[in-house]
């Protein structure tokens, strides 16, 4: 049974293997491997995947990802604390989700509270939907009663995920559809 966990070094091999699937991720323009790592770590690309091959380096990466949830952790201007969770089945890394603790103006317009990605080889098996539903109590625990979740208007898989998780469409701003998902 897949579960949400905080970033854990035990899934290193699978996490790195997922990175090699970028070549099959047609459709959203993520053809650059380091951009993919940025997506998998929730930040603009700052590290190359080669830098995570050593177990110690990967453990440090996991610790950094967990640290993002701390309110007083260092972060770039404009970023808020976010709880990063990995969707894993045993030692298999399937995807990533993050819950931003509060909305900035830009998150309110575009980014929303929750972002997620499923590795290409694991798509179309319900993982994103299950992962988002599993994260709703986490958001609730952070004091978020209604989670804002957004997606590009033409990202049909993500629209389905949000709607199946109970999302209610508020509006479209630019290319983004903005949904509110009750967390309780």
Please report how close the Cβ of residue 72 comes to ligand COA at its closest, in angstroms.
28
Candidate ranges 13-21, 49-57, 63-71, 155-163; the one touching ligand COA (CB under 6 A):
155-163
Q: Which of residues 22-81 bind ligand COA (CB under 6 A)?
A: 28
Work out how close the CB of 123 gets to ligand COA at its nearest, in angstroms, rounded to a whole number: 3
Q: Is 97 helix (H, G, I), strand (E, B) or coil?
A: strand
* Residue choice 99, 147, 151, 165 for contact with ligand COA (CB under 6 A): 151
How far lies 72's CA from each of 7, 58, 68, 128, in Å? 19, 23, 9, 30
Among the listed ranges 73-81, 123-131, 133-141, 166-174, the one in contact with ligand COA (CB under 6 A) is 123-131
Tell the residue number behind the tokens 């509270």, with chain if given: 113
Stretch that binds ligand COA, among 5-13, 40-48, 100-108, 115-123 (CB under 6 A): 115-123
Contact with ligand COA (CB under 6 A) among 85, 99, 128, 136: 128
Which of residues 34, 43, 160, 166 is near ligand COA by CB under 6 A? 160
CA atoms within 13 A on the CB side of 46: 8
Q: Which residues contact 58 (CB under 8 A, 6 or more apart)?
A: 9, 12, 15, 16, 52
136 three-class SS: helix
């Amino acid at each position: 049974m897949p579960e949400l966990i905080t970033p854990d070094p035990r899934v290193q091999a699978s996490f790195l293997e997922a990175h090699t699937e970028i070549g099959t991720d047609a459709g959203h323009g993520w053809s650059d491997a380091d951009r993919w790592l940025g997506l998998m770590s929730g930040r603009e690309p700052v590290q190359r995947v080669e830098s995570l091959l050593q177990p110690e380096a990967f453990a440090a990466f996991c610790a950094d990802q967990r640290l993002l949830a701390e309110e007083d952790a260092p972060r770039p201007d404009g970023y808020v604390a976010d709880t990063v969770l990995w969707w894993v089945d045993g030692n298999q890394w399937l995807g990533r989700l993050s819950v931003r603790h509060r909305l900035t103006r830009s998150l309110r317009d575009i980014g929303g509270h929750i972002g997620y990605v499923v590795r290409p080889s694991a798509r179309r098996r319900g993982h994103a939907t299950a992962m988002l539903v599993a994260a709703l109590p986490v958001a609730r625990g952070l004091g978020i009663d209604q989670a804002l979740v957004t997606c590009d208007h033409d990202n049909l898989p993500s629209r389905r995920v949000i709607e199946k998780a109970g999302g209610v469409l508020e509006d479209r701003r630019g290319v983004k559809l903005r949904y509110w998902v009750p967390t309780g």
